[in-house]
């Protein structure tokens, strides 16, 4: 049996790859390891019965390594892929594993914020500044010269950040964070990223109801 991954389809476009950063993280991992896989697109607003049977919680991504056993949760999935396909190794050293881990949550808070004085922008800038300092000391990637798991987790989140904040707030990562800019450019230009990213309009459509709530 082939490796199969269930991922989010684009909102209103059930046949197009959607905007789930956790789904993309799994796809990036498979691409970087050159593991062939079959992608199943799930319309999250109308989940098929077969999908709910294998995954009653109904969340994406879900992964089947070819043994018929379905696994949910991107953290668990990428670990399973790493164990099953150790080459090239993508393990991030434990001391670097949490670098950038608060960027996504601070981005979401700022994106949804209606009050420019609530500190949400500064909270995001603080996290991006911390990433800048890390990359300055250890870059170009979080663990030096080679991409590792933490980069593949951050790349989709940084993509959502750049697309959504530019669209909804006209906000961009400050130019003086030169290492972050170089990092984002390096990640987004990888072949694995080009092959697995959602179109910008689908990222925007995915965030619109949350921003306008």
Catalytic site residue from 5, 10, 20, 103: 20
SS (H, E, C) the chain: CCEEEEEEEECCEEEEECCCHHHHHHHHHHHHCCCCEEEEEECCCCCCHHHHHHCCCCCCCEEECCCCCEEECHHHHHHHHHHHCCCCCCCCCHHHCCCCCCHHHHHHHHHHCCCCCCCHHHHHHHHHHHHHHHHHHHCCECCECCCCHHHHHHHHHHHHHHHHHHHHHCCCCCCCCHHHHHHHHHHHCCHHHHHHCCCHHHHHHHHHHHHCC
Say whether 20 is catalytic. Answer: yes
Identify whether the C-beta of residue 42 lies closer than 8 Å to the C-beta of residue 49.
no
Strand partners of residue 138: none
Cα 70 from chain centroid (whole Å): 20
Catalytically active residues, by annotation: 20
């Amino acid at each position: 049996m082939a490796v199969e991954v269930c991922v989010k389809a684009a909102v209103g476009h059930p046949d197009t790859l959607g905007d789930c950063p956790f789904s993309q993280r799994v796809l990036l991992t498979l691409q970087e390891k050159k593991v062939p896989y079959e992608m199943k697109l799930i319309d999250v607003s109308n989940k098929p019965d077969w999908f709910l049977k294998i995954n009653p919680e109904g969340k994406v991504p879900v992964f089947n390594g070819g043994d018929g056993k379905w696994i949910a949760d991107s953290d668990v999935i990428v670990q399973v892929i790493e164990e099953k396909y150790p080459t090239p190794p993508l393990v991030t050293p434990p001391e670097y594993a949490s670098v950038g881990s608060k960027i996504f949550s601070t981005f979401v808070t700022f994106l949804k914020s209606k009050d420019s004085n609530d500190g949400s922008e500064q909270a995001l800038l603080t996290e991006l500044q911390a990433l800048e300092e890390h990359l300055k000391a250890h870059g170009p990637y979080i663990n030096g010269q080679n991409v590792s798991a933490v980069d593949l987790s951050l790349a989709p989140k940084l993509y959502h950040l750049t697309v959504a904040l530019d669209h909804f707030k006209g906000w961009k990562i400050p130019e003086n964070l030169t290492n972050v800019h170089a990092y984002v450019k390096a990640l987004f230009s990888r072949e694995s990223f080009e092959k697995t990213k959602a179109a910008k309009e689908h990222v925007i459509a995915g965030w619109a109801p949350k921003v306008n709530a």
